Amino acid sequence: MTIGWHFDNTYSKLSNTFKEEIKPTPVHNPTVVILNDNLAKDLNLDFSNISKKDLSEIFSGNKIPKDTTTIAQAYAGHQFGHFTMLGDGRAVLLGEHIASNNKRFDVQFKGSGRTSFSRTGDGRAVLGPMLREYIISEAIHTLKISTTRSLAVVKTGEKVVRENLLPGAILTRVASSHIRVGTFQYIAAKQNLDDLNTLVDYTIARHYPEIKSSNNKALDLLNLVMEKQCKLVVDWMRVGFIHGVMNTDNMAISGETIDYGPCAFMNQYDPKTVFSSIDKFGRYSFSNQPPITKWNLARFAECLIPLINKDENTAIKLATETIDNFQNIYEEKWLNMMRDKLGLYGNDENDKKLINDLLNWMQKNKADYTNTFCYLMNIEIGSNNLYDDKDFVNWNKDWQKRVSANEVSKENSLELMKKTNPIIIPRNHKVEEALKAAYKDDFQVIKKLLSNLNNPYDKKKGIEDYQYPSNDNGYQTFCGT
């Protein structure tokens, strides 16, 4: 148990409105199937002197480290637009671990048994979805995008009932916190102004201490969260990531990607791409991610109205002006991101047209999103006959002309592209291959996939097979609940 835990639990000291004190439900025969040694180092944890059996006991929740106060957090959420009072129905927060750099990290078990928030759920998780979260969250981290991370996955030795009997698992998730837009919605719905003030003060102290002395903390908090969420969704769009279930309870106030459910990466460029089996109308499709982010932020703003100004009309006016500014912030960040993807320095009034012409061509010709930018960086992947198309050749000439107008060398332009465009992403068929192997107790496929996804901006030998897209027609992802 002496692996370096240093718990200091502040959230559990808030009133019972915010949480339920509860321990993980013990499991019969836990086995660690994957452990994140790189993350462990970041957290100043050392697993070298502890047996695999003891590690399995710890990461299943069978043995609780000292100085923890295990809780399930309360929150609400708009799920596909419908408001529901929720909470951690299958997760338990172990506590807040302090690393040597004095950074605070939530350590949470996902799939650790029923809580008072479980409703009709069984509180358990299945091996496949937990491993998917591990793979994709680590990939998002290596892509240099803000995210929660996965420290371990444990098989519980028990079966979970879904469509079939499936192997149960528990994921250990690490986050800068688990405070969500839905947390604010839950407290706002209780209509206790003291609790709402407490949550705002706690969130600011933990994530945005620079506005601690602000004259309007609630409004400043809204602006900072909006800025963070804009950056996050622009990064998703940069690499073709589709979260899949952007409910308000899945939007972290810290600006981290959280709650990896039916997530996937886009292969052929199509703004309407959606993989989630439950997203029948494309609410959370690739191109809908920015407007849904704005919609979620509007729900956050509604929670803060009583604290923005004592006069409700004034508060609504201030909040509305803030939310209305989302489009400007997003469009500027998106345009600059796309300029980076194309190695463009400075501003040109025709940049937006140049970018949209490329995207329209990609959509029309079903070009692979990631590999098209690789081609523009002179990284050839398989057959490139597609790029002999007359319209693309003409576009390429316009692009080269614009690159030549940069006030920097072509080498600098290429370097900018290399920092922005990944060479490798977690291709959906490769993720599925790894998950299928795991169900047969073969975890080498996952480990090889993770190894190849490390340093995704660098050209490496032996990754060619991981760069080819598959045909995603009919491909679906599932939440696992």
Length of the chain counted residue by residue = 481
Distance between CA atoms of 423 and 289, rounded to whole angstroms? 23
Residue 105, phi then psi, degrees to nearest 5: -130, 130
> Contact, 138 vs 99, CB < 8 A?
no
Sign of CA dihedral 227, 230, 232, 238: negative
Q: Which residues contact 166 (CB under 8 A, 6 or more apart)?
A: 126, 127, 128, 159, 160
Whether the CA torsion 371, 373, 379, 384 is positive or negative: it is positive
Tokens of residue 458, six digits: 């660098």
Neighbouring CB atoms inside 10 A of 454's CB total 14
Helix (H) or strand (E) run with residue 364 in it: helix 351-365
**What is the C-alpha separation between 416 and 163, in angstroms, rounded?**
47
Angle between helices 444-453 and 428-439 (to 10 degrees): 150
Tell me if 357 sits within 8 A of 395, measured CB to CB.
yes
CA distance 358 to 376: 11
Two tokens, residue 153:
């996955």
Q: How far apart are CA 328 and CA 131, in angstroms?
A: 37
Name the CA dihedral angle for 224, 227, 100, 55, rounded to a multiple of 10 degrees: 110
The residues annotated with a catalytic role in the active site are 249
- The sign of the torsion formed by the CA atoms of 105, 110, 116, 118 equals positive
Q: Is the dihedral of CA 271, 275, 278, 280 positive or negative?
A: positive
Q: Tokens standing for 20?
A: 């339920």
Residue 201 corresponds to which amino acid?
A: D
